[in-house]
Structure 1
Amino acid sequence: MNFSAWPKLLVVDVEGNGGNPPDLVEVAALPIRDGQADKRTAGAWLIRPPRSVTPHATRVHGLRNEDLAGAPTWDKIADQVHGLMRDAWICAHHAHVDYRVLKAHLPKWEPDGVIDTLRLAKATYPDASSYGLDALITHVKPDLSEAPAVGRHRATYDAYATAQLLIAMAAHYETWDQLVAVAVPPSLPGAPEPDKDPTLW
């Protein structure tokens, strides 16, 4: 895989307050440059949501209302997030969720394309027993020695783990186009157009 041929790509992860629809409490965006996760230019934000974090959400990601009391509200950082992700592809695990939540919070933003590592993993490891993030970490054994110390289910950690899984899986494909063909859900930006039937006109 020639990583230098990749477009601008950010691995993203979001965490919510447990509402429906969710309010964001954490966003991470980690660039991939030359086949490496570039933590130096990554973006990571804690956000004080307009509605309280539910006990269930806290059990998942560990963020409590008091942890977010001093964080900025979404309107204070939305332009920063949009600026980092402008004119870029994004990648996420089960990408429909992250794309939908980010799109709801950034209605004027549209990524150039969306890579779903869940979809990519199913094509790359068809014999795997499960395709959740924890199961894939166990299956692929990516190097997470430089992952943020906050742990699983925090946006920065999950973005880093997803980035390492993406890099490992990319090695199974010769070109960016081959990866895109299996990794972009048909309904999301960047999906290849279906071949036209030459018999139709």
Structure 2
Amino acid sequence: MSTNPWTTQRYLVVDVEGNGARPPDLVELAVVSITSGRIGDPTSWLVRPTSPITWQARKVHGITNDQVAALPTFDAVRDAVTSYIADEVVLVGHNVRVDLDVLRRKLPGWQPHAVLDTLRLARTLLPHLSSHKLGVLVEHLDLATDLPEELQPHRATYDALVTARLLTALATREDGTPRQAGEMTQLGGLPQANTAHEAQPGLF
């Protein structure tokens, strides 16, 4: 297990919003890098899915079919997305299996270097909370402070940014010292062998 501080690794936080189909197709993707423990600026893509966005998914993220009707499909941005996530980074998400499943289907042959789930981390490090949903953790840890007003929960950029803040909060011990990279992997890592096509159903 690596005894280096977690800040010695580069992390890429992702959030996917989907069309509500089974399996879901990608509508919006946001990525936020964390380098040397510092959260970078987000990058996002909004695309037209291969099938319409269901009303159930629209209730969650608010993205309508009219909003994406004139946009390109994911094929047009695939190279740009690949250039962002192809580096030797640790992929991070909240209930990351969902995001990972969508990305794997949109990027055949792609395999992240390692995967870290902030949901698993939060359940282990904050066991006293009755819920570990992202919204509950954002409120409990005050993770939305100073975010631009135009960013809204359940949109990819907002969710990726607060998940990045969640990771840095969980990666810092109560005394202010950083957790070890190996400790983070042990507490929240997702075994590579168990990540393929295990996404939980969800209206996203």
Q: TM-score by structure 1 length? A: 0.87
- Kindly tell me the number of residue pairs found equivalent between the two proteins: 186
Cα separation, partners in 2 of 1:4 and 1:166, compared to 1, 3 Å: closer
Aligned position for 2:158: 157
Please identify runs of 4+ aligned residues in structure 1 that moved more than 3 A: 1-4
Distance in 1 (CA, whole Å) between partners of 2:97 and 2:39 is: 22
Which residue in the other structure is 1:43 paired with? 43
Tell whether the 8 Å contact from 2:12 to 2:32 is kept in structure 1 after alignment: yes
Where does residue 132 of structure 2 map in the other structure? 131
Distance 1:147 1:37 in 2: 15
1 CA distance for matches of 2:5 and 2:149?
27
Q: Which amino acid aligns with 1:58?
A: R
1:183 equivalent among 184, 188, 203: 188
Q: Contact 2:6–2:179 (CA<8 Å) still a contact in 1?
A: no
1:16 pairs, out of 15, 18, 21, with: 18
Q: Percent identity?
A: 38
- Structure 2 residue runs of 5 or longer lacking an equivalent are 197-204
The root-mean-square deviation of aligned C-alpha atoms, in Å, is 1.7
Q: For the residues of structure 1 that align with 2:85 and 2:146, how far apart are their CA atoms?
A: 26
1: CA distance, partners of 2:171 / 2:148: 19
Asked if 1 retains the 8 angstrom alpha-carbon contact of 2:7 and 2:181, the reply is: no
1:179–1:28 Cα change, 3 Å: same
Instruction: Tell me which residue corresponds to 2:145.
Output: 144
Partner residue, 1:28: 30
Structure 1 unmatched runs, 5+: 190-201
Higher relative contact order (CA 8 A, sep 6+): 2
- For residues 195 and 98 of structure 2, the distance between their equivalents in structure 1, rounded to whole angstroms, comes to 11
Secondary structure of the equivalent of 1:44?
strand
